[in-house]
């Protein structure tokens, strides 16, 4: 089994690959039977896997060190070359849908595959190739800019991730200084950030219009692969959050202020959950990985085998360091049938969340590693995030291994943070909807609109007169807005499902775990709503769903030992 460091990256022969993929399309077009059509689909799929493997190896090694000149150049080449390959999924979808042998495909792989093909062919025309190239360039420019942060603080040069422990300090003065330093660096980049985003919005709006739509929003939904919910569903769902979640979490913010003994809570205070300090893992990377290995061995045979493979093949890069891109993600090297986890450990509880959240993504990838056709496992993001967010809760019984005396505090903060996240996630989605409905808005107008949205979803925030935040620019730190438009609501939908798994798991672990495994294995085979309902979960879009699940969560929080939550 090849280890990560031994996986060979070689710049693809893009022209040769393009020609071979064109030949596969011709074979699909000229297929005389269902078997011939499916064989040609598999040939095209294998070429796509080869290209994807090189793309992801390049991306991972670039984000591990954005200062590496070789992978910086290769990443730039990928940004330029890959957009023209976008035509293959759209054209392959068209061929299958118009083929006299399409029934053979649906009989073998299910009708949902054809539903996904209907969406795929909406997002590409040859005339947008240059736009896609420029979109890739701007995405990389944003990522590189945010990774370039060098903040002098407490005698050392730190990146944005390295500032987080100071922003969670028990010392209020330290929290304020760290927050001002971190947000101050971002504010210094505001003109660049505004310019990058303005270019992206204009570009995406043009893409939407070239594809025959009024704006970019239908393209964004199609890019996300959504087949069973639309913009109106999103609006109604966000209304549920305003009605059922915002009042509940405002109560939690008030309780937090009382716990901390701070009457005039400011934006920099909310990162501290407890007067005696936030829960922290009791060890660094080697210790945490060792504990995670025990946890996954005990959780199930499947998770034990999976995590052992991640360790044995060095399929994780976990700790923050200079030049490393921000955030965390999981990706998949198709030719090696191997998932990979990237993160920025910084000594906070988020380190453990990575070993559960990103591991949930990677576990799904591992379970589906042998699926014969990639398009079958091309699932939407709200499905993907069920895998990750639910794994966070299924692993609760092992949290004592990581947090020891802080375990109860972790339990409390994990559930509370999950609920607090819902309004923020909805605010990001509502901003993007407004932006792409008003593509000619100025940066100042976008910021002002977000401040209005923020006051609806997060009315507790007091920015203490910090100009950058007061005018509504906080969203610029959220990379999804730049890199993955309209992704963010998917996190909240998955969170609603994950919270259901949490309460179900406490009542009947075996049934809940069987359901979760089924969701991981069937991801991409059926659309989101059907998958959730067939798994035994309530559909988050159904009116009243959120109101129905929050009482059990409040009951859980009320049942925790209050002497350990202070």
The total of other beta-carbon atoms located within 10 Å of residue 117's CB is 20
Nearest-CA neighbor of 528 among 233, 249, 316? Answer: 233
pLDDT for residue 399 is more than 90: yes
**pLDDT, the chain, mean:** 96
Structure tokens given for 498: 């994950």
pLDDT for residue 356 is more than 90: yes
Count of all residues that appear for the chain in the document: 566
Q: Are 431 and 441 in contact (CB under 8 A)?
A: no
Split at pLDDT 50, 70, 90, the class of 566 is confident
Burial of 152-165, coded b for 16+ CB within 10 Å and e otherwise, reads: ebeeeebbbbbbbb
Q: What pLDDT score does 500 carry? A: 98
Nearest-CA neighbor of 427 among 382, 474, 387, 386? Answer: 474
pLDDT for residue 146 is more than 90: yes
Q: Are 427 and 458 in contact (CB under 8 A)?
A: yes
Q: What pLDDT score does 337 carry? A: 97
**pLDDT of 441-473, one tens digit each?**
999 999 999 999 999 999 999 999 999 999 999
Q: What pLDDT score does 546 carry? A: 96
Q: What pLDDT score does 38 carry? A: 98
Q: What pLDDT score does 327 carry? A: 85
Which helix (DSSP H) or strand (DSSP E) does residue 332 occupy? strand 329-333
Q: What pLDDT score does 238 carry? A: 98
**pLDDT of 519-536, one tens digit each?**
999 999 999 999 999 999
Sign for the pseudo-dihedral over CA of 317, 323, 325, 326: positive
Helices (H), 189-300: 190-210, 217-223, 231-240, 246-260, 285-299
Split at pLDDT 50, 70, 90, the class of 1 is confident
Sign for the pseudo-dihedral over CA of 452, 455, 456, 457: positive
What percentage of the chain has pLDDT greater than the value 70? 100
Residues with Cβ within 8 Å of residue 514, at least 6 apart in sequence: none
pLDDT for residue 361 is more than 90: yes
**pLDDT of 104-137, one tens digit each?**
999 999 999 999 999 998 899 999 999 999 999 9
Split at pLDDT 50, 70, 90, the class of 253 is very high
Q: What is the radius of gyration, based on Cα positions, of the chain?
A: 23
Which of 120 and 514 is assigned the larger pLDDT? 514
Q: What is the largest CA-CA distance in the chain?
A: 75
For residues 33-49, average pLDDT:
98
Split at pLDDT 50, 70, 90, the class of 326 is confident
Q: What pLDDT score does 502 carry? A: 98
Residues with Cβ within 8 Å of residue 122, at least 6 apart in sequence: 90, 211, 218, 219, 222
What percentage of the chain has pLDDT greater than the value 90? 95
Burial of 33-63, coded b for 16+ CB within 10 Å and e otherwise, reads: ebeebbebbebbbbbbeebbbbbbbbbbbbb
Split at pLDDT 50, 70, 90, the class of 562 is confident
What are the boundaries of each domain within the chain? Answer: 4-121
Strand partners, 157: 152
């Amino acid at each position: 089994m090849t280890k990560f460091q031994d996986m060979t990256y070689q710049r693809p022969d893009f022209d040769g690959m393009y020609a071979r993929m064109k030949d596969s399309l011709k074979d699909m077009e000229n297929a005389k039977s269902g078997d011939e059509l499916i064989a040609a689909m598999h040939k095209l799929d294998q070429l796509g896997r080869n290209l994807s493997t090189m793309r992801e190896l390049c991306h991972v090694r670039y984000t591990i060190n954005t200062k590496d000149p070789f992978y910086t150049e290769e990443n730039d080449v990928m940004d330029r070359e890959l957009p023209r390959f976008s035509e293959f999924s759209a054209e392959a979808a068209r061929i299958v849908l118009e083929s006299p042998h399409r029934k053979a495909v649906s009989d073998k792989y299910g009708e949902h595959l054809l539903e996904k093909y209907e969406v795929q062919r909406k997002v590409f025309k040859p005339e947008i190739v240059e736009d896609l190239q420029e979109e890739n360039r701007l995405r990389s420019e944003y990522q590189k800019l945010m990774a370039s942060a060098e903040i002098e603080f407490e005698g050392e040069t730190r990146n944005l991730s390295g500032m987080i422990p100071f922003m969670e300090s028990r010392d209020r003065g330290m929290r304020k200084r760290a927050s001002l330093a971190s947000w101050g660096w971002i504010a210094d980049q505001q003109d660049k950030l505004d310019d990058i985003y303005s270019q992206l919005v204009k570009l995406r709006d043009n893409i939407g219009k070239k594809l025959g739509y009024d704006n970019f929003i239908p393209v964004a939904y199609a890019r996300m692969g959504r087949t069973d919910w639309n913009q109106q569903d999103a609006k109604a769902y966000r209304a549920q959050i305003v009605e059922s979640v915002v009042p509940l979490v405002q109560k939690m913010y008030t309780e937090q202020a009382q716990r901390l003994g701070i009457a005039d809570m400011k934006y920099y205070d909310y990162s501290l959950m407890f007067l005696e300090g936030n829960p922290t893992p009791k060890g660094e990377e080697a210790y945490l990985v060792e504990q995670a290995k025990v946890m996954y061995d005990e959780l199930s045979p499947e998770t034990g085998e999976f995590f052992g493979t991640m360790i044995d093949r060095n399929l994780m890069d976990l700790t923050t360091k200079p030049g490393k891109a921000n955030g965390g993600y999981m990706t998949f090297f198709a030719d090696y049938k191997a998932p990979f986890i990237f993160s920025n450990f910084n000594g906070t509880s988020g380190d453990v969340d990575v070993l559960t959240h990103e591991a949930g993504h990677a576990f799904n990838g591992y379970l589906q590693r042998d699926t014969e056709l990639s398009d079958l496992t091309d699932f939407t993001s709200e499905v993907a995030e069920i895998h990750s967010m639910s794994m966070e809760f299924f692993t609760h019984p092992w949290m004592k291994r990581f947090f020891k005396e802080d375990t109860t505090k972790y339990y409390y903060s994990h559930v509370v943070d999950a609920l607090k996240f819902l309004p923020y996630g909805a605010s990001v989605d509502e901003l993007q909807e407004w932006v792409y409905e008003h593509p000619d808005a100025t940066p100042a107008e976008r910021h002002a609109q977000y401040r209005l949205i923020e006051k609806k979803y997060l009315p507790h925030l007091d920015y203490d007169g910090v100009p950058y935040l007061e005018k509504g620019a906080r969203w610029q730190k959220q990379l999804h807005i730049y890199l993955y438009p309209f992704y963010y609501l998917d996190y909240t939908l998955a969170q609603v499902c994950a919270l259901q798994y949490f309460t179900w798991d406490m009542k009947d672990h075996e049934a809940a775990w069987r359901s979760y495994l089924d969701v991981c294995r069937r991801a991409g085979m059926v659309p989101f709503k059907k998958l959730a309902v067939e798994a035994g979960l309530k559909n988050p879009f159904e009116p009243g769903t959120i109101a129905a699940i929050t009482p059990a969560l409040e009951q859980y929080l009320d049942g925790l030992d209050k002497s350990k939550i202070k």
